[in-house]
Amino acid sequence: MKEITLRNSGPVTACLSSGKGGVGKTSLSVNLAFALAQKGVRVLVVDGDLGLANVDVLLKLQVQSTIRDILDRGADPLEAVVYVEPRLGILPASSGVPDLADLGPDDHQELGSILQSLGDNFDFVLVDTAAGIGSSVLWFNTFVDHNILVLTPDPTAMTDAYALIKVLSRDYHRKSFHLLLNQVKNEAEAKQVYDHLARVASHFLSLDLEYLGGVPHDPAVSKGVRDQVPFIKISPRSKAALAISGYAERLLTWAAQKPANRKTAV
């Protein structure tokens, strides 16, 4: 078998993971995707929480078929994508299906080729993974070009994010991680938590963590979740929306540069 470079001209792929649940991955993924689409690029959001999907809930989607239907029944991936905006597609997963939460190597390979062919229609693919360090979380993280770690400034979220970084770097040779701090008081707090985690990662794992930024604690965020509308749409001038818009801008620069974790595969 020879090594070939995948997706040379394909989309920028990134996944948002956290280790700990409830830190706002899904909300940030969806809003980042909206922000990117607003800037004129085509975005696909993949609901990577294969057991307890909730991108569809967050957006009040009418789901036709899910990743499970694609894998189990050979449903057409293109038809499974739900467009919430002309340039923004969602690939939904199914909720409450525990057996799919743990896909095997064969399923992952299949999912990989599905995402790859779907990706041809988009400039960005954002995967919102499940919490934890399950096999699918690890697989999504090795599949994409960019790994974004979402965490809040509390000790459990920090420990879990650190644990995920450790496993991915030690066992899967991932070297580039972008930290996105959520629910921070201000930019200074975000930077402080980042600095601290970066020091520990540098010392113990010889890794240079990258700083994506902080999303301030903002009532617009929880309102968006409750109303099932992205906060970036209903409160575009809120602090959180402005921050997300800025980070979308940063993600756009990834399209121009060679991805740090460009995948090669057999």
Partner 1 sequence: MQKPLCVSALCPYGAVECPLWAETQRLQEECERLRNLSYTDHLTGLFNRRYLKSAIDQEMERTRRTGLPTSLIMIDLDYFKRINDTYGHQAGDEALKWVSQIWRKNLRRIDIPCRYGGEEFAVILPGTRLRAALKAARRLQTALVNSPLEWQGREVALTASFGVDSYTARDNLTVRSFVKRADHYLLEAKIRGRNQICYQQLETAKPTPEVTMDERSALFGAPALPATEITQPKQASKKG
Give the residues lining the site for partner 1 (CB under 8 A): 102-107, 133, 135, 153-155, 158-159, 162-163, 166-167, 192-193, 195-197, 199-200, 203-204
- Inter-residue contact 37 to 85 (CB < 8 Å): yes
Burial class of residue 241 (count of CB atoms within 10 Å of its CB; 0-12, 13-18, 19+): buried
Helices (H), the chain: 25-38, 55-58, 67-73, 77-80, 98-101, 105-119, 135-143, 155-172, 187-205, 219-227, 231-234, 239-256
Which residue, 188 or 255, is less far from partner 1 as judged by CB? 188
- Residue 162: CB minimum distance to partner 1, A: 6
- Residue 230: CB minimum distance to partner 1, A: 29
Between CA 30 and CA 8 the distance in angstroms is 26
Locate 89 and state its tokens. Answer: 């597609």
Which residue, 84 or 165, is less far from partner 1 as judged by CB? 165
- Residue 163: CB minimum distance to partner 1, A: 4
Which residue, 198 or 265, is less far from partner 1 as judged by CB? 198
- Residue 156: CB minimum distance to partner 1, A: 9
Give Rg (Cα) of the chain.
Answer: 17
- Residue 189: CB minimum distance to partner 1, A: 8
- Residue 71: CB minimum distance to partner 1, A: 12
Which residue, 40 or 104, is less far from partner 1 as judged by CB? 104
The structure tokens 């990117």 sit at: 36
Which residue, 40 or 105, is less far from partner 1 as judged by CB? 105
Phi, psi of 115, rounded to the nearest 5 degrees: -65, -35
Which residue, 76 or 154, is less far from partner 1 as judged by CB? 154
Between CA 172 and CA 248 the distance in angstroms is 27
Cα dihedral 145, 48, 44, 144, rounded to 10, equals 10
